[in-house]
Amino acid sequence: MSELVRSLRTFTAARIGLQAAGQSLATREILQLAQDHALARDAVHATFDTEQLRAELVAMGHTVHEVQSLAADRATYLRRPDFGRQLSPETTTSLAAHWASIQAPGSPPPAVVVVIADGLSAAAPVAHAAALLRELSALARRRWTSVPVVLARQARVALGDAVGAALKARLVLVLIGERPGMSAHDSLGAYLTYAPHPGRTDAERNCVSNIRPQGLGYAQAAHHLHWLVEQALTRGVTGIELKDESGVGPLHIGAPPANIGA
């Protein structure tokens, strides 16, 4: 393997410079591909285990409520993306009642509500959401420490619009498992929408993606998200009208997985 390929492998987990055996790939490369493919497939079908995540969030000072989309099960969720964008009627009622029960009379609606959703990789929010919120709290404790959190099952990004509208929030931040790839099965995406309501389009959102230790680290992601949130609340916009001008320090690029390279 050339020195150029070796150096490139320190920056990416992409499949470059794969080892060959004659006219084919080496057995170890084929087995690695099969393992990564299996991880990606399993991630899509995994169940969103909210118990530990809820406990972490409550310990951090967040109020937590769980909701369900119109998709009653994973098979329906995968066949009907539109169901994943809508709250079930019972959930809408319970969410409004829950919020009313924990707010003092006359309290204003929340400026920001966080929705943590399974998306296409339930492992991602379980692994990364609490750590990301800790970094956000470290940046601005007043803004993030007691922000309300909603855990959403069988959810697409747009479900956050329905949640935000139900709580009359000025801004919704959706932390969701991204579509798994062959080098990352547990990547977390963050989507910001100002004045959320059903019918918002992707052009009206800001996205920070690939949040995980081997991608965009928690501290860097928190830096970008906090800047975007404050600017969105000040300017009253998100999406194509709000460009990320937060700046960034030196990139921290995690080491590639141990089973890549050699």
Q: What is the 3-state secondary structure (H, E, C) of 162-174?
A: HHHHHHCCCEEEE
Name the percent of the chain lying above pLDDT 90. 59
pLDDT at 178: 94
Residue 249 has pLDDT above 60, yes or no: no
pLDDT tens across 41-61, in order?
777 878 898 999 999 999 999
Average pLDDT over residues 52-71: 93
Of 97-101, 137-141, 254-258, where does the model show the most confidence? 137-141
pLDDT at 1: 61
Spell out the domain ranges in the chain: 48-241
Q: What pLDDT band is residue 29 in, cutting at 50, 70 and 90?
A: confident
pLDDT at 248: 60
Backbone angles phi, psi at 257, to 5 degrees: -55, 150
Question: Is residue 192 a contact partner of residue 133, using CB atoms and an 8 Å limit?
Answer: no
> Under CATH, which number does the domain 48-241 receive?
3.40.50.11240
Higher-pLDDT residue of 11, 138: 138
Which residues fall within 8 angstroms of residue 196, CB to CB, at 6 or more apart?
A: 160, 161, 162, 163, 164, 165, 169, 171, 172
d(CA 116, CA 48): 10
Average pLDDT over residues 151-163: 96
Give, in order, the Cα–Cα distances in Å from 154 to each of 65, 88, 137, 191, 206.
15, 11, 27, 17, 22
Of 140, 145, 204, 203, the C-alpha closest to 172 is: 204
pLDDT at 26: 80
pLDDT at 242: 96
d(CA 79, CA 98): 30
Q: Which residues of 84-114 are buried (b: 16+ CB within 10 A; e: fewer)?
A: bbbbbeebbebbeebbeeeeeeeeeebebbb
Residue 95 has pLDDT above 90, yes or no: no
The mean predicted confidence, pLDDT, of the chain is 87
Backbone angles phi, psi at 218, to 5 degrees: -60, -45
Which DSSP symbol is given to 147?
-
Which residues fall within 8 angstroms of residue 244, CB to CB, at 6 or more apart?
A: 206, 224, 227, 228
